[in-house]
Amino acid sequence: MKHQSWFFLILVLIGAVVLSGCDIFGRVQPEDPQVVLQTSIASTQLALEEIETIVAATLDAMPTVEQKAPEVPTPTGIVAVPTSTTIPTLQPTEAPTSAPTEAPTSTPTDMLTSTPTSAVPLAQVSVPTNCRTGPGIIFDQVSILDVGRQVEVIARNASGTYWVVRNPGGEGTCWLWDQYVTITGSTADLPIWDSPPTPTPTAGETPTTVTMRVSIPTNCRVGPGIPYEIVSVLQANRTVEVLARHATADFWVINNPVGSGTCWVWGEHATFTGAWWNLPVQDAPPAPTPAPEVTPTAVTMKVSIPTNCRVGPGIPYEIVSVLQANRTVEVLARHATADFWVINNPVGSGTCWVWGEHATFTGAWWNLPVQDAPPAPTPAPEVTPTAVTMKVSIPTNCRVGPGIPYEIVSVLQANRTVEVLARHATADFWVINNPVGSGTCWVWGEHATFTGAWWNLPVQDAPPAPTPAAVTLRVRVDTNCRVGPGIPYDIVTIFRIGKTATVVGRHASLDFWVIENPEGSGTCWVWGKYATLTGPSSSLPIWDPPPRP
């Protein structure tokens, strides 16, 4: 009851104050609306302050009754709203420093540790690889599959050298070369697709040009081989366009470098640019039939380096003179092996024999008469042979033994005369005093001239053949290392650029090499297209490929 009296008194006071603020008892109102508004605002503010004072006084006079509300835990990171009657102006605040509780780190085992094997095979590449409209460079490029990206495999060709994949750059499918591809998933059920028709260049369209360049002057002939007549000579380091190739890929058809028409060049000393394997295969013209002439057309020869002219075909025969480079001479006859040729002595009378290794010919040399070699020279019956000397026409390596497998000791410079101490049984290597140090070494006699009775020199046995040095291999692009030599074999690992591997064997074709697995145990086969080898690779054993999968 006492509390009700207090509340009644408070209500009366509040009503009186409000009515006085509103000034409704006949006070004269200013006519200016702005003044009226300001006066009303001031009166209302004053009334509110008086009410706040009365309420505060009333609450102080009331008995204190503490009633505890049940505690509710404040969630972490949630700011509690103040309970004061006055609502403060909200200010931007930093995010709470206490982070929400992290989600449990445990993940179901089957989601974290095992990835279900996709039924769809996927392909990825170790180097960016063109994806084409068909299996080969002659087909247009559709897009490029970049390293690190996977695409679905749809089919393959019969030989397993190309894969049909979803176009990584758009819609449809395209063909991907297998050389740099790694497949995940089973390919056993993939269908085999036939190649689309080979594209025919449209009018005005020219396929990518294939060019070649030879390192030494090379005859360009009517057909692929020495029996055919020489048309012209392709000079060293001149680049020409290649139009076609022989089926064996050892002779190439080019435009005549010094006239009209085409001619055939041997590719032994050539380097190529472009997709030569896409060149059309051209059949050889009919082999020339010797004309029934009593006197054949003169055959001439010209050597590219100074060459000894000897009494007979080979080093055992005495040197008569030297045929200088680029001098043209008439050829009179040939040896049965067609490696030595009889000419008029270029610096005197009579005839002599010249080695044809560095020679070019004009005329039908195959019609030349075959001449037998003269008897091998008989050593003179001298008790004490006169000193034998030799001089080489080009700088020549002097080695520990007779041949390339032996280490080089020094170099015998051109036109330097040295004494010969002994010879090999074959009379093609000679023992001399080391021209730049102590001891002796072996020199090849191919470019040498001799004075004295060399046939009286003692025959010296070759030292034991050296143990071949380790052969190593590096690649210019990342290259698959496979179980066997070729795309049909599974990939073991990828041999990366910059790494060096030891070569332990080679394929008989010299296009695949067996290396120690760079990423594990065992061995694998690397394609030699992009490889650089160091060491005596010719001494490596030939490995037979494993059975094809």
Question: What is the value of pTM for the model shown?
Answer: 0.27
Weakest-pLDDT range from 8-12, 142-146, 350-354, 451-455: 8-12
Distance CA(468)–CA(405), nearest Å, equals 8
- Average pLDDT over every residue of 462-474: 84
Same domain, 445 and 485: no
- Average pLDDT over every residue of 470-481: 91
Q: How many domains does the chain have?
A: 4
pLDDT at 28 (0 to 100): 43
pLDDT at 543 (0 to 100): 92
> Is 447 inside a domain boundary?
yes
For 529, phi then psi, to 5°, come to -55, -40
Distance CA(469)–CA(410), nearest Å, equals 19
Domain boundary among 319, 338, 367: 367
Same domain, 423 and 450: yes
> Is 517 inside a domain boundary?
yes
Q: What is the CATH number of the domain that holds 311?
A: 2.30.30.40
pLDDT at 364 (0 to 100): 87
Within 10 angstroms of residue 210's Cβ, the number of other Cβ atoms is: 20
Task: Encode pLDDT of 341-382 as tens digits.
Answer: 999 999 888 999 998 888 889 988 888 999 999 998 876 554
Question: Got the DSSP string for 47-108?
Answer: HHHHHHHHHHHHHHHSPP---PPPP-PPPTT-PPPP-SSSPPPP---PPPSSPPPPPP----
Domain boundary among 367, 402, 417: 367
- Average pLDDT over every residue of 192-202: 78
Degrees (nearest 5) of the Cα angle 136, 141, 145? 95
| Tokens read off for 331 | 């050829």
290 vs 48 pLDDT, higher one:
290
For 127, phi then psi, to 5°, come to -135, 150
For 47, phi then psi, to 5°, come to -65, -40
Distance CA(484)–CA(511), nearest Å, equals 12
Would the pLDDT of 214 be above 60? yes
Same domain, 447 and 482: no
Distance CA(347)–CA(332), nearest Å, equals 16
Task: Encode pLDDT of 44-83 as tens digits.
Answer: 555 555 555 554 554 454 444 434 444 434 443 333 334 3
> Is 196 inside a domain boundary?
no
> Is 61 inside a domain boundary?
no
Distance CA(320)–CA(105), nearest Å, equals 93
Q: Given pLDDT bands bounded at 50, 70 and 90, which one contains residue 444?
A: very high
Most confident of 23-27, 90-94, 165-169: 165-169
- Average pLDDT over every residue of 180-193: 90
Specify whether the CB–CB gap between 448 and 390 falls below 8 A: yes
435 vs 59 pLDDT, higher one:
435
pLDDT at 102 (0 to 100): 37
Nearest to 540 by CA among 149, 528, 529, 48: 528
Would the pLDDT of 493 be above 90? yes
Domain boundary among 413, 429, 456: 456
Would the pLDDT of 20 be above 80? no
Q: Give the mean pLDDT of the chain.
A: 79
222: left (phi over 0), alpha (psi -120 to 50) or beta: alpha
Specify whether the CB–CB gap between 459 and 402 falls below 8 A: no
Same domain, 328 and 355: yes
pLDDT at 384 (0 to 100): 55
**Strand-by-strand arrangement of the 141-145 sheet:** 141-145, 129-132, 173-177, 162-166, 151-156, 122-125, 181-184
> Is 505 inside a domain boundary?
yes
Query: Which secondary structure element, helix H or strand E, spans residue 45, and what is its range?
Result: helix 33-61
505 vs 32 pLDDT, higher one:
505
Same domain, 451 and 496: no
Specify whether the CB–CB gap between 138 and 175 falls below 8 A: no
- Average pLDDT over every residue of 147-174: 92
Range of the domain at 444: 388-456
Specify whether the CB–CB gap between 153 and 164 falls below 8 A: yes
Q: Please list, in sequence order, all residues whose beta carbon lies within 8 angstroms of the beta carbon of residue 58, skipping any fewer than 6 positions away.
A: 6, 10
Residue in the structure block whose two tokens are 């090849």: 444
Task: Encode pLDDT of 296-305 as tens digits.
Answer: 578 999 998 8
| Tokens read off for 35 | 């003044």
Q: Given pLDDT bands bounded at 50, 70 and 90, which one contains residue 32?
A: low
Question: Got the DSSP string for 277-346?
Answer: GGSPB-PPPPPPPPP--SSPPPEEEEESS-EEEESSSSTTSPEEEEE-TT-EEEEEEE-TTSSEEEEE-T
Weakest-pLDDT range from 176-185, 201-210, 273-282: 201-210
Would the pLDDT of 153 be above 70? yes
- Average pLDDT over every residue of 136-143: 80
pLDDT at 19 (0 to 100): 57
> Is 145 inside a domain boundary?
no
Distance CA(516)–CA(153), nearest Å, equals 31
pLDDT at 4 (0 to 100): 57
Nearest to 174 by CA among 189, 157, 190: 157
> Is 50 inside a domain boundary?
no
Nearest to 308 by CA among 360, 343, 337, 332: 343
Compute the half-sphere exposure of residue 494: CA atoms within 13 Å on the CB side of its CA.
Answer: 16
498: left (phi over 0), alpha (psi -120 to 50) or beta: left
> Is 28 inside a domain boundary?
no
Q: What is the dihedral of CA 14, 15, 18, 19, to 10 degrees?
A: -150
Task: Encode pLDDT of 217-229 as tens digits.
Answer: 889 999 998 888 8
